[in-house]
Amino acid sequence: MSFSKKISKEEIQNLPLFSYNGLIVNVDNKHQFEDAFKKMNAESIIGIDSETKPTFVKGQYHHTALIQLATADCVYLIKPQKTGFPDLLVDLLENKNIMKVGIAIAQDLTDMRKFKPFKEQSMCDLNNICTKLGFENIGAKNLSAIFLGHRISKSQQTSNWENDPLTLPQMLYASTDAWICREIMLKLKAHNYPI
């Protein structure tokens, strides 16, 4: 099976709406961090994304409000304003043995470095990979439709990510964005695309 190199908005609109429906863990304290990172360090591929409170005023800046990390059976949601940016997270980002997969991840990483410096290793951006492979449509919505056959909602994108607690729609949206990155990479690898 090969995947279509392009998809139209109409085709996407006709696909079934989908969101992540597995386990979501809000990582709020040191004990949860240690448990979460012990599990993540056993993975070979992790989906990664982050969310920031939107700015509507020129020159305004908000720190990263949420970091999402997706494993085979769980998505971990980390709020740096609440938990800080632990060394365990730096270790994960710098671990060359674990592939971290995101979509348009460069700005996310730049913003994360404002908490603590790190040199990421084994970080893969699906937009870059798929562009090199000749796919004409990139971005979370397009790539999810092409590789997973589902439409994802972006309705929570501009919601307030500094909410505490997050709403259920926010948690589902955030988890979906990280989880699809991992799933798309698994599809690429299963179909022997050169990564």
Burial per residue of 70-109, b for 16 or more beta-carbon CB atoms within 10 angstroms, e otherwise: bbeebbbbbbbeebebbebbbebbebeebbbbbbebeebb
Distance CA 32, CA 55 (A): 30
| Tokens matching residue 31 | 């004990």
- CATH, domain range 9-190: 3.30.420.10
How far apart are alpha carbons 94 and 98 in whole angstroms?
Answer: 9
* Spatial separation of the C-alpha atoms in residues 159 and 1, rounded to whole Å: 38
Please state the pTM of the whole predicted model.
Answer: 0.95
The pLDDT mean for the chain works out to 94
Which is nearest to 75 in space by CA: 145, 148, 126, 26? 26
Query: In 3D, which of 187, 161, 184, 185 has the Cα closest to residue 173?
Result: 161
CA 39 to chain centre: 17
pLDDT in tens, 153-162: 988 888 899 9
Q: Is 59 helix (H, G, I), strand (E, B) or coil?
A: coil
pLDDT per residue over 123-167, tens digit each?
999 999 999 999 999 999 999 999 999 999 988 888 899 999 999
Give residue 95's pLDDT band: very low, low, confident or very high (50, 70, 90). Answer: very high
